[in-house]
Amino acid sequence: MDFATLNALDYDDFVNIFGNVVEKCPIITAAVWSKRPFAGLADLEAAIHEFIDALPESGKEGILRCHPDLAGRELQSGTLTQESREEQARAGLDALNSAEVSRMTRLNLDYKARFGFPFVICARMNDKATILRQLSERVQNERQVERARGIEEVKRICHLRLQGLVLTDVPNKL
Amino acid sequence: MDFATLNALDYDDFVNIFGNVVEKCPIITAAVWSKRPFAGLADLEAAIHEFIDALPESGKEGILRCHPDLAGRELQSGTLTQESREEQARAGLDALNSAEVSRMTRLNLDYKARFGFPFVICARMNDKATILRQLSERVQNERQVERARGIEEVKRICHLRLQGLVLTDVPNKL
């Protein structure tokens, strides 16, 4: 999709196409539509970052809490968003053995009990081994460190989702 | 649901139950979880208002853009959220005659073309006649007046959705 086309989208189509670049936060996409026209992908991404960075800390935690657990209940029950399902599958999280599922479940619970938000990592940039290692390491961080780290990962996920959408025609979503 | 129970909910359950009190904006519910414990409904509602009011104007427009058209495409195609479907049905918007559908469609398009966000009104506090009248009147307002008015309506909708959830046990959502 070229940016002339993107900048000409009405908000309905814009949110329909880009509404989940930040997981379950279509408000962010819907808000940055006000900032068009965008000079390119980096400009659109900068508008998203600006919105996220201006949120109070509770709002950043809110973004994290809209993310599913990795290899969690929503993966098992088939209720992940399409984007999350593909990303978790690509990292091999839909094919864990029972020992790996148990370890992931326990670590996710520990992490959520400690921080009050889920462990967020860009699954497409990691495999199950590095995800498990990162989870076991990051659960020991301080809360504010993890909140900032989680938001960094949200931005990585957003970057790859945006690239995937802008560099294809996504006619099926229009 | 009493507030001791509500305040003891982990964020997963809290977002699962209250995530759509502002249409398609679970980030708001997920953010205000950080502010618990809540003394009561008014306190929870105040935390939601505080979050909304602190958003930049683009963020408030973002909230409005997450709302469906009244008697629009999503009602026809059955893709409304459960809350919106019930509210639109209660106002009689699922039983318009063809002339009413045409008028509503044209007015919605005019409104969206003028403001860049949809007409939002608390359907449960209105019927189809008052909704059509309000729509034809409000489309003539200034943009900043309608943005503020739309957010007022979002808060009315939120109030009724919260009441409906807190004053029942909603065990099916847990």
CA-CA distance, B37 to B45, in Å (whole number)? 12
What DSSP character marks residue B79?
-
Length reported for chain A: 174
Within chain B, where are the H helices?
3-7, 11-18, 26-32, 41-54, 57-65, 73-77, 82-90, 98-115, 128-138, 143-166
Q: Given a cut of 70, is residue A110 above it in pLDDT?
A: yes
Phi-psi region of A162 (alpha: psi -120 to 50; beta: other; left: phi over 0): alpha
Q: Is the pLDDT of residue A171 over 90?
A: no
pLDDT band at A49 (very low <50, low <70, confident <90, very high): very high
Percent of chain A residues topping a pLDDT of 70: 97
H-assigned helices in chain A: 3-7, 11-18, 26-32, 41-54, 57-65, 73-77, 82-90, 98-115, 128-138, 143-166
Q: Residue A172 has what pLDDT? A: 46
Euclidean distance between CA atoms B75 and A107, whole angstroms: 42
Q: pLDDT tens digits, residue range A113-141?
A: 999 999 999 999 999 999 999 999 999 99
Indicate which of A10, A21, A58 best probes the interface with B, i.e. most B CBs within 10 Å of its own CB: A58
Q: CB-based contact (8 Å) between B105 and chain A?
A: no
- The predicted model gives A54-81 an average pLDDT of 96
Q: Residues in chain B, how many?
A: 174
Q: Is B100 exposed, middle or buried (0-12, 13-18, 19+ CB in 10 A)?
A: middle
Mutate to test the interface with B, among A20, A34, A52, A115 (most CBs of B within 10 A): A34
A87 Cα to chain B: minimum distance (Å): 21
Q: Which residue of A has its CA nearest to B113?
A: A10
At residue B25, the pLDDT reads 98
Domain locations along chain B:
3-62+164-168, 68-150
- Mutation pick from B28, B35, B55, B58 vs chain A, by most beta carbons of A within 10 Å, is B58
ipTM attached to this prediction: 0.94
Mean pLDDT of A48-61: 98
Query: Three-class SS of residue A16?
Result: helix
The residue ranges of chain B whose pLDDT is under 50 are 172-174
Is the minimum CB–CB distance between A112 and chain B shorter than 8 Å? yes
Count CA atoms within 13 Å of residue A39 on its CB side.
4
CATH class name, domain B68-150: mainly alpha
Question: Least CB-CB distance to B62: which of A30, A58, A66?
Answer: A30
User: What per-residue confidence (pLDDT) applies to B174?
Assistant: 45
Class of domain A69-152 as given by CATH: mainly alpha
Average pLDDT over chain A, rounded to an integer: 94
Residue the block writes with tokens 């930040």: A22
Out of B28, B61, B116, name the one closest to residue A62 (CB): B28
pLDDT at B171: 52
The reply to whether domains B3-62+164-168 and B68-150 share a CATH topology is: yes
Q: Is A72 exposed, middle or buried (0-12, 13-18, 19+ CB in 10 A)?
A: buried
Report d(CA A28, CA A21) in Å as an integer: 9
Q: Specify the pLDDT at position B168.
A: 74
Mean pLDDT in residue range A8-17:
97
In Å, how far are A89, A102, A113, B15 from A71, measured between CA atoms? 9, 10, 17, 19
What is the residue type of B28?
I
CB-CB under 8 Å, A117 with B31: no
- What dotted CATH number matches A3-62+164-169? 1.10.3330.10
Which of B32, B57, B58 has the CB atom closest to A58's CB atom?
A: B32
**Hey, are the CB atoms on B34 and A10 less than 8 Å from each other?**
no
Nearest chain A Cα distance for residue B23, angstroms:
10
Q: Identify the residue whose tokens are 């495409």.
A: B73
- Residues of B labelled catalytic: 67
Which chain A residues are Cβ-neighbours of B11 within 8 angstroms? 65, 112, 116-117
* CATH code for the part of the protein at B3-62+164-168: 1.10.3330.10
Q: Tell whether the torsion through CA atoms of A97, A98, A102 and A105 is positive or negative.
A: positive
Single-letter amino acid, residue A111 = Y
